[in-house]
Structure 1
Amino acid sequence: MAITAAMVKELREITGAGMMDCKKALNETNGNMEEAIEYLRKHGQAKAEKKAGRIAAEGLVGAHVENDKLASIVEVNSETDFVAQTDDFKDFVAAVAEQAKKTGCTDIEAFMDEEWLAEPGKTVREALTAKIAVIGENLNIRRFEKVVSEGAIVSYIHGGGRIGVLVDADTDVVNDEIRTALRNVAMQVAAMSPVYVSRDEVSQEYIDKETEILKAQAKEEDPNKPDNIIEKMIVGRLNKQLKEVCLLDQVYVQDSDLTVGQYIDKVAKDNNANIKIAKFIRFETGEGLEKKSDDFAAEVAAQLG
């Protein structure tokens, strides 16, 4: 298929690879974006496996926690950061988070159609439409999650609402020290963006795919390297990668002598408690969304000739 400048632009934004490398990867994979990303990673040309699409939309993440046991987290988008920082918008995000904490819905469409608790008689969608009319900017309730816990939930909001995190822990003791520890873990999630709680959550499909990519990278570095040496390299590199994506294996940012798992074990011992991180949710404003298109595609087209 024909490789367009827009396709090259998108792949470059996702991977951080050079423009000509992106064009070659798309040609080699017949324009398949996922295969092109893997091609670049295998050949060591992708600087980072970024999320598909720039984090560009404005807005806020809001969260509510009630009595340690019930919580919600929401993302509401606006067109500009100026609007996102107004009290009117912040109050609306807080009301959406309160709605999400009490909702029985699990998907955004059903959520939008339920009754708006802050003003009975209208739906959440109608409340949003009314707010758009008042603020004069397009707004969007993008996503939400509700968490009910047997143990304890904490929230952490970073950057005035740019990132929001909920951490849910199974614990038989709930006190201020344990709440503080869980909030520290939430700060870790905000800063380090883990994908899984522990290695137990990592699928064999993920392991197989990453092993294949690491093997291709090793071959690219030295085609003559013996297979047994490559296998040892892959084990080491995969283990290092899992330590980055699994929360409990990450180095604890407030004490580099401990992993997050070891930190939680220490807090549990100090409080004569049993603590297990059950799940975390991390929302980042505008994750995967793009701002209005700029002239970069035209620039790419000109350079590609």
Structure 2
Amino acid sequence: MAEITADLVKRLREQTGAGMMDCKKALQATDGDYEEAVDWLRKKGLAAAAKKSGRTAAEGLVGLELAGTKGALVEINAETDFVSRNEQFQAIVREAAKLTLDAGDDVEKLKGLTVQSTGRTIADEITNGIAVIGENMTLRRSTTVAVEDGVVAGYMHGQLAPGLGKIGVLVGLQSSGDKDKLAEIGKQIAMHVAATNPQSVSTDDLDQNVVARERAIFADQAAASGKPANIIEKMVDGRIRKFYEEVVLLEQVFVVNPDQRVKDVIAQASKDVGAPVTLTAFVRMQVGEGIEKGPGDDLAAEVAKLAGV
């Protein structure tokens, strides 16, 4: 049998929100297979579907820059949240966001671009910041969204300074219609994305492996009801539709107006701006998401003690 480590139990607990002992049982039941353990917990009703606790170790800032038909996001991490309020650190993130408009998602290219006001590259700015501020800093990622005609709107949640905060969102709206109205609608949708964290724009864009996995879990759960096969199929189809409503942007209930879905907002926008509107893309970037905590995290010791692993 595979070794069930405290770190593995901790990781499963953080992702699923299930109890420590349930996580340990899940790993034991699946011989230490992490993904199978997630599914085991979900089948038992012990974990929420497709949701993670979002616990992270990294601090820092997301920077956002808008330029009409293009927008950029960049994440630079530091060791403590205190640094995110440092003006020098904020200046580095702000300059990196501007240069991301040219660098896109190429972090190495971004590191080599020059900040006009100082003559230093972004990589040198970070090195200088480490020396002055006294904390390690890393340029983690960057990305852009662009449209041929229309606007790229943005929203920054937890904003500490203009264009700097903890969750940044870009939304691309393709349209020849009124740009001011498009920008206003785009910002509302960006706020929605910040709140709901969808996985795709449409059902067609959603990873079909994810859909297949959800369908398999729903089928297994429905089969336990003992109902006929044709009823089970309808139950699974209904749950898949509900899943789409949870994770697909256009199918989600609009948080700004719960009487509408996002696809209804886009349809109305076409009338309001005087031309067809297409939501082409979105990006949501949150400080530290997906970064594992380091070996010094004392939660591991707590899990080991309570779970007896």
Tell me if TM exceeds 0.5. Answer: yes
Instruction: Tell me by how many angstroms 1:287 deviates.
Output: 0.5
Mapped pair 1:154 → 2:157: no
Moved more, 138-147 or 201-210: 201-210
Contact 1:152–1:174 under 8 Å retained in 2: no
Contact 1:72–1:145 under 8 Å retained in 2: yes
Match of 2:264 in 1: 262
Match of 1:201 in 2: 205
Instruction: Tell me by how many angstroms 1:47 deviates.
Output: 3.1
Residues 231-279 of structure 1 deviation map (CA, whole Å, 9 limit, x = unaligned) = 1111111101101111111111122221111112112112221100000
Contact 2:198–2:247 under 8 Å retained in 1: yes
Specify every segment of 5 or more residues in structure 2 that has no aligned partner in the other structure, as ranges: 160-164
The amino acid that maps onto 2:243 is Q
Contact 2:171–2:279 under 8 Å retained in 1: yes
Contact 1:51–1:288 under 8 Å retained in 2: no
Contact 2:65–2:97 under 8 Å retained in 1: yes
Match of 2:216 in 1: 212
Moved more, 15-24 or 45-54: 45-54
Match of 1:192 in 2: 196
Contact 1:5–1:298 under 8 Å retained in 2: yes
Change (3 A) 1:8 1:92: same
The amino acid that maps onto 2:40 is Y
The amino acid that maps onto 2:237 is V
Residues 275-305 of structure 1 deviation map (CA, whole Å, 9 limit, x = unaligned) = 0000000001110124444322222222333
**Which structure 2 residues correspond to residues 212-291 of structure 1 after superposition, within 5 A?**
212-220=216-224, 222=225, 224-291=226-293
Residues 122-146 of structure 1 deviation map (CA, whole Å, 9 limit, x = unaligned) = 4432221111111111111111012
Instruction: Tell me by how many angstroms 1:76 deviates.
Output: 1.1
Contact 2:198–2:249 under 8 Å retained in 1: yes
The amino acid that maps onto 2:127 is T
Change (3 A) 1:101 1:38: same
Change (3 A) 1:205 1:92: same
Looking at structure 2, the residues matched to 140 and 52 of structure 1 have their Cα atoms a distance apart, in angstroms, of 24
Change (3 A) 1:206 1:304: closer
Looking at structure 2, the residues matched to 116 and 50 of structure 1 have their Cα atoms a distance apart, in angstroms, of 39
**Which of the pair has the greater relative contact order for Cα pairs under 8 Å at 6+ separation?**
1
Contact 1:9–1:300 under 8 Å retained in 2: yes
Instruction: Tell me by how many angstroms 1:120 deviates.
Output: 7.2
- Count residues in correspondence: 300
Mapped pair 1:85 → 2:85: yes
SS for the counterpart of 2:3 is coil
SS for the counterpart of 1:209 is helix
SS for the counterpart of 1:201 is coil
Aligned residues: percent identity? 44
Change (3 A) 1:106 1:157: closer
Looking at structure 2, the residues matched to 266 and 286 of structure 1 have their Cα atoms a distance apart, in angstroms, of 36
Moved more, 170-179 or 121-130: 121-130
TM-score relative to the length of structure 2: 0.90
Contact 1:115–1:123 under 8 Å retained in 2: yes
Contact 2:145–2:281 under 8 Å retained in 1: no
Change (3 A) 1:202 1:47: closer
Looking at structure 1, the residues matched to 54 and 258 of structure 2 have their Cα atoms a distance apart, in angstroms, of 32
Contact 1:10–1:53 under 8 Å retained in 2: no
Mapped pair 1:295 → 2:301: no
